[in-house]
Amino acid sequence: MNDFTHQQSAHCESGVMSAMLTHQGLPLSEPMAFGLASALGFALIPFVKLSGLPLIAYRMPPRAIINGLQKTLGVHMRRQTFRNAAKGMAALDAELDRGRVVGLQTSVFWLPYFPEGMRFHFNAHNLLVYGRDGDDYLISDPVFEQPVRCDRAALQKARFAKGALAAKGLMYLADRVPDSIDHARLVPAAIQRNLRTMTGAPLPFIGIRGIRHMGAQLRKLERDRAKREQYLPLYLGHIVRMQEEIGTGGAGFRFIYGAFLRESAKVLVSDELKEAARLMTDAGDHWRLFALRASKMCKGREAMDTAVLEEILHGCADREAAVWERLQAWSRSQRQ
Amino acid sequence: MDHSEVPQDNSHTYGGHRKLLYATDRDGNYVGVPSTGWEAEEIATGSALDLLAQQQQVAWQRAQRGETSPLEYYMAYRRMDEALLAQTSGIWRWRIRRHFRPAIYRRLNDTVLARYSEALGIDITTLKTLVQNP
């Protein structure tokens, strides 16, 4: 057994990477892991449906943080998927016996320690296994306050659950970790990359344009008599769920990114970044306002008014645009 | 969000757990603050859960009346829809729909049932009959 210490995080993938790299000698906070991987995003993808509703993501797709950190930090990650579940479990055991801390991608639904109200079929959850005790695996699940346990059969089922984003038993380890981070070089580059996702995508449903697009779409749905009564409230509930529950939330990600900017401001002694962090927090707060009003409208506690919702979404888009404008000027000045 | 404004709404969907949120302190520094839940999230998650519970209830009643097979109930019980059950069991959707007919389901051999059993995490004996209470 190793001397692993559990830490709770806001988001599973950034939390796992932060805990894993910190444990292996490279202190890295969760916001720093998220920011350096350029993981903030927005996408409304009409042709990928989740129970009949379009996929809405407030961050980059699963595995983007693992891959991103590997590239930017130069961490040597080893990852493996398995066709055979028994082999996948044996490989996990072998690494644990060597005293390693192992990252896994799993389904949420089949993990018995999740409360009933959080168990949905979502296959891109991340957790760390740091040991074994008889038939139980000792798990540091970043979403939970304390370490948890999971029996072998359940963990196998969670690792090998099929369906969208199936993990196929994915397990990952950091084999070699650098001993320091060159913030002055990496932070501006990471911000530049994220800037491209948020402002430079050629598609109308990605980045800041995507946020405005969602607002326009809500207006259109209210005008559509066939969709106004049933579909619209369902869709609003869906937007809020994707925002607040599945993988921590739209506002939550803005706050993580704000924390990254604030931490960078401290390390690099920059008032510009400090101000950008404040603006990003403001954008996050506006997203929470949206969630609050939208959820009330979908429950009928407030009269349906998509004009109000569109205006709030434009407010979110404006605020995020202001942050990125500042960040663009700042990161350019850093590169010269 | 100021750290004093982090919602503590005791959402029942959290099952007594707390989630971490980043909020700012008086100097604008970010601190992690555990939250017991938020009204807006609970409304959204709650209505998704209500829908699942309702589907489960309806499937049980229909199976009880012989209008569908126990399979449809167990699918709803595991919070799945036809598309997901098809993906996890590797059985085509149209076949699954056929297996919702009680007469056809009753004649299914154990090889097919084993695939449903694996996908749903429910043993074959249980799958064959409807549980007493939903």
The predicted-structure confidence for A178-213, as pLDDT tens digits, reads as follows 999 999 999 999 999 999 999 998 899 999 999 999
At A286, list the tokens: 């506006």
How many domains would you assign to chain B? 2
| CATH code assigned at B57 | 1.10.260
At B58, list the tokens: 């309806």
| CB–CB contact B47 A256 (8 Å) | no
B22 and B53 both lie in a single domain: no
B63 and B96 both lie in a single domain: yes
Beta bridge pairs of residue B33: B21
Q: Which residues contact A318 (CB under 8 A, 6 or more apart)?
A: none
Residue A97 CA to residue A100 CA, distance in Å, equals: 7
B59 and B14 both lie in a single domain: no
Could you list the residue range(s) of the whole structural domain that residue B58 is in? 48-127
Residue B1 contacts A, CB cutoff 8 Å:
yes
Any domain includes B132? no
Mean pLDDT score, B15-42: 92
Secondary structure class of A122 (helix, strand, coil): coil
At A74, list the tokens: 């130069």
B61 and B90 both lie in a single domain: yes
B85 and B58 both lie in a single domain: yes
- Residue A119: list chain B partners with CB under 8 A: 79
User: What pLDDT does A53 receive?
Assistant: 86
In chain B, the residue whose alpha carbon lies closest to the alpha carbon of A119 is B79
If one counts every other C-beta atom within 10 angstroms of the C-beta of residue A88, the result is 22
Of A118, A240, A255, the CB nearest to B44: A240
| CB–CB contact B41 A278 (8 Å) | no
Secondary structure class of A178 (helix, strand, coil): coil
What's the mean per-residue pLDDT of chain B? 94
The predicted-structure confidence for A151-173, as pLDDT tens digits, reads as follows 999 999 999 999 888 999 999 99
Secondary structure class of A83 (helix, strand, coil): coil
Mean pLDDT score, A45-70: 89
The predicted-structure confidence for A102-114, as pLDDT tens digits, reads as follows 999 999 999 999 9
Q: How far is CA A202 from CA A26, A37, A205, A209, in A?
A: 37, 21, 9, 10
Q: Which residues contact A222 (CB under 8 A, 6 or more apart)?
A: A228, A232, A304, A306
What are the start-end ranges of the H helices in chain A?
12-23, 30-36, 64-73, 85-97, 152-159, 183-199, 207-223, 225-228, 231-244, 250-268, 271-299, 306-335
B119 and B59 both lie in a single domain: yes
User: What pLDDT does A229 receive?
Assistant: 86
Residue A286 CA to residue A35 CA, distance in Å, equals: 20
User: What pLDDT does A3 receive?
Assistant: 85
B28 and B91 both lie in a single domain: no
At A25, list the tokens: 């000698």
Mean pLDDT score, B35-45: 89
**Side chain identity at residue A249, one-letter code:** G
Q: How far is CA B67 from CA A224, B52, B79, in A?
A: 35, 19, 20
Any domain includes B43? no
| CB–CB contact A240 B40 (8 Å) | yes
Residue A45 CA to residue A205 CA, distance in Å, equals: 7
B30 and B52 both lie in a single domain: no
| CB–CB contact B45 A245 (8 Å) | yes
Residue B124 CA to residue B134 CA, distance in Å, equals: 18
Label each residue of chain B as H, E or C: CEHHHCCECCCHHHCCCCEEEEEECCCCCEEEEEECECHHHHHHHHHHHHHHHHHHHHHHHHHHCCCCCHHHHHHHHCCCCHHHHHHHHCCCHHHHHHHCCHHHHHCCCHHHHHHHHHHHCCCHHHHHCCCCCC
Any domain includes B42? no
Residue A107 CA to residue A36 CA, distance in Å, equals: 26
User: What pLDDT does A244 receive?
Assistant: 62
Instruction: Please tell me the least confidently modeled range out of A71-85, A239-253, A297-311.
Output: A239-253
B59 and B31 both lie in a single domain: no
Residue B32 contacts A, CB cutoff 8 Å:
yes
Q: Is the dihedral of CA A210, A167, A248, A321 positive or negative?
A: negative
| CB–CB contact A120 B48 (8 Å) | yes
Any domain includes B133? no
Beta bridge pairs of residue A57: A43
| b/e burial code for range A257-282 (CB count within 10 A of at least 16 → b) | bbbbbbbbbeeeebebbbbbbbbbbb
Task: Give me the helix-helix angle, A64-73 and A12-23, nearest 10°.
Answer: 40
User: What pLDDT does A249 receive?
Assistant: 61
Any domain includes B29? yes
User: What pLDDT does A47 receive?
Assistant: 85
Residue A298 predicted with pLDDT over 90: no
CA-closest candidate to residue B82, choices B71, A119, B62:
B71
Element containing residue A132 per DSSP (H, E)? strand A125-133
User: What pLDDT does A245 receive?
Assistant: 59
Angstroms from A266 CA to nearest CA on chain B: 10
Residue B22 CA to residue A251 CA, distance in Å, equals: 10
pTM score of the predicted model = 0.94
Of A10, A117, A263, the CB nearest to B49: A117
Residue A27 CA to residue A299 CA, distance in Å, equals: 44
Angstroms from A48 CA to nearest CA on chain B: 13
Residue A248 predicted with pLDDT over 60: no
Residue A321 predicted with pLDDT over 90: yes
Query: Which of B18, B19, B39 to mutate against chain A (most A CBs within 10 Å)?
Result: B19
Beta bridge pairs of residue A50: A53
B33 and B52 both lie in a single domain: no
User: What pLDDT does A336 receive?
Assistant: 62
B75 and B20 both lie in a single domain: no
Any domain includes B98? yes
- Residue B14: list chain A partners with CB under 8 A: 115, 117-118
Secondary structure class of A247 (helix, strand, coil): helix
User: What pLDDT does A1 receive?
Assistant: 56
User: What pLDDT does A165 receive?
Assistant: 87
Q: Which residues contact A266 (CB under 8 A, 6 or more apart)?
A: none
Going by pLDDT thresholds of 50, 70 and 90, the confidence category of residue B129 is very high
User: What pLDDT does A66 receive?
Assistant: 96
Q: How far is CA A91 from CA A67, A84, A94, A171, A256, in A?
A: 21, 11, 5, 9, 33
Mean pLDDT score, B72-95: 95
B33 and B57 both lie in a single domain: no
Residue A247 predicted with pLDDT over 60: no
Residue B108 CA to residue B82 CA, distance in Å, equals: 18
